[in-house]
Amino acid sequence: MPKMTVRDIDVKGKRVLVRVDFNVPLDEKTGAITDDNRIRAALPTIKYLIGHGAKVILISHLGRPKGKVVAGMSLGVAARRLSEVLRQPVAMALDCVGPGVENMVAAMKPGDVIMLENLRFHTEEETGDASFAQSLARLGDVLVNDAFGAAHRAHASVSVIADYLPAVAGFLMEKEVANLSKMLQSPARPFAALLGGAKISDKVSMLENIMGKVDYVMVGGGMAATFLKARAYEVGQSLLEEDMLATAGRLMKMAQKEKVNLMLPADVAVADEISREAQVKVFPADKIPKDKRIVDIGPQTIADFSLELKKCRTIFWNGPMGIFEIPRFARGTQELAKLLAKLEAMTVIGGGSTAEAVIEMGLAGKMAFVSTGGGASLEFLSGAKLPGVEALQDRK
């Protein structure tokens, strides 16, 4: 990695601000954490800093409180879980800036860990306000950015703070950038991009950038409807991005020109409504009834995709193949996840809903790498420069 990491600096006795991504999913009723993977992913960096005598000050966002204090989005729940898995106390601050926080930090001893309150309780975080970034910077001697999931945001704690504090990468940030860079620069072939999710619009730049680098693009999920419609197929009541039809057509021509095998569903599972009780039927992709909507890929498509995926040595997967939160619409996602877990290939899961699916199935450990950043991984693979990565100090 061309950027400096936490290994390159002396942290003993220093106040180290660590930008983590503790934007964990919470149970709507109880407020309990339903998946602590993002907290566990930051443990190597946190433990390293404790072991090297740093005073560890964790900063993160949680949810979208839009600049207001929302009790249900307090990071207290993350501090408690971190304390359990770290097996040491993690103090919780009432805010992330101000005299109270500064006094709390001043009282820290080497090896202490504190969690500051949700950054997004302040509107200045998302607007990238310089004064807010300075207030955060006053709390530390150095910034360790371990929040790859937020690296594509030009927020105060992600990139602006680096104007006032030397910034280096944590181990998770280093691992994310290294794995995604390797996949782009020197992938073992054949190389397949397995893409799903609701929309094509958030994957266009990434598709344009990887089109000449991959051997296969396999399209499922809601975005398949836009590609099928661009081929003049009937897609019924399926989610459709009308303004992306021309783009889908252009991408298919681009694939043809680059000799990329772009595979669309041969058959699809459809339903009358999105509910747990809905009746599911399978139709060929060119015979979708006008009153139905696509909810998953069909068995023939699972077989077609699987046949080609077995040949591949590098696979990037971003986006579920159907509405996997509903069991009846989850077969495509589940079957392909099971297949990827068995393959002797570089299998990279591109964060977001796809990561949730493989973690929920207990298959994360069978994949080569599960990214913590859905949007960030897509932007990275699109060739865009991520503000949070660019702000890190260059390795001399």
| Nearest residue to 149 via CA among 23, 33, 58 | 23
What residues does each domain of the chain span? 6-173, 187-381
The pTM of this model reads 0.90
SS3 track for 311-325? CCCEEEEECCCCCCC
Please give the single-letter amino acid code of residue 23.
Answer: N
Does the annotation count 38 as an active-site position? Answer: yes
* Counts for the chain of helices (H) and strands (E), in that order: 15, 15
Relative to beta strand 15-19, strand 314-318 is unpaired
Cis before residue 299, ω within 30 degrees of 0?
Answer: no
375 as an active site residue: the answer is yes
Long-range contacts of the stretch 288-291 (C-beta < 8 A, 24+): 288/228, 288/233, 288/234, 288/235, 288/236, 288/238, 289/234, 289/236, 290/234, 290/236, 290/237, 291/236, 291/237
Instruction: Give the closest residue to 197 by CA, choosing from 347, 349, 367, 328.
Output: 349
Active-site residue 199, yes or no?
yes
Assigned CATH for 187-381: 3.40.50.1260
Catalytic, out of 236, 298, 352, 388: 352
Cβ-proximal residues to 306 (8 Å cutoff; 6+ apart), any chain: 335, 336, 339
**Of 143, 150, 138, nearest in space to 61 by CA:** 150
Query: How far is the C-alpha of 69 from the C-alpha of 229, rounded, in Å?
Result: 44
Identify whether the C-beta of residue 48 lies closer than 8 Å to the C-beta of residue 6: yes
Asked whether the CA dihedral 331, 191, 238, 256 is positive or negative, the reply is negative
* 243 half-sphere exposure, CB direction, 13 A CA radius: 4
Q: What is the pLDDT of residue 1?
A: 72
- Distance between CA atoms of 302 and 279, rounded to whole angstroms? 20
Asked whether the domain spanning 187-381 has the same topology as the one spanning 6-173, the reply is yes
Q: What's the CATH number for 6-173?
A: 3.40.50.1260
User: Do residues 320 and 353 lie in contact, with contact meaning Cβ atoms separated by under 8 Å?
Assistant: yes
One-letter amino acid at 377 equals S
Look at residue 353 in the predicted model and tell me its pLDDT. Answer: 87
Catalytic residue among 15, 38, 175, 203: 38
Q: Among residues 182, 199, 213, 231, which one is catalytic?
A: 199
The torsion angles phi and psi of 109, rounded to 5 degrees, stand at -115, 155
For residue 373, the model assigns a pLDDT of 85
267: nearest Cα among 248, 284, 281, 289: 284
Beta partners for residue 268, in sequence order? 283, 297
pLDDT tens, per residue, the chain with 396 residues: 789 999 999 999 999 999 999 999 999 899 999 989 899 999 999 999 999 999 999 999 999 999 999 999 999 999 999 999 999 999 999 999 999 999 999 999 999 999 999 999 999 999 999 999 999 999 999 999 999 999 999 999 999 999 999 999 999 999 999 999 998 888 999 999 999 998 888 899 999 999 989 999 999 999 999 999 999 999 999 989 999 999 999 999 999 999 999 999 999 999 998 999 899 999 999 999 999 999 999 999 999 999 999 999 999 999 999 999 999 999 999 999 999 999 999 999 987 889 989 999 999 999 999 998 888 998 999 888 999 999 999 987
Sole residue written with tokens 């005073």? 55
Q: How many Å apart are CA 11 and CA 110, to the nearest integer? A: 10
**Tokens 């796809």 -> residue:** 354
Name the residue among 82, 5, 80 with its Cα closest to residue 41. Answer: 82
Catalytic residue from among 63, 111, 249, 375: 375
In single-letter form, the type of residue at position 247 comes to T
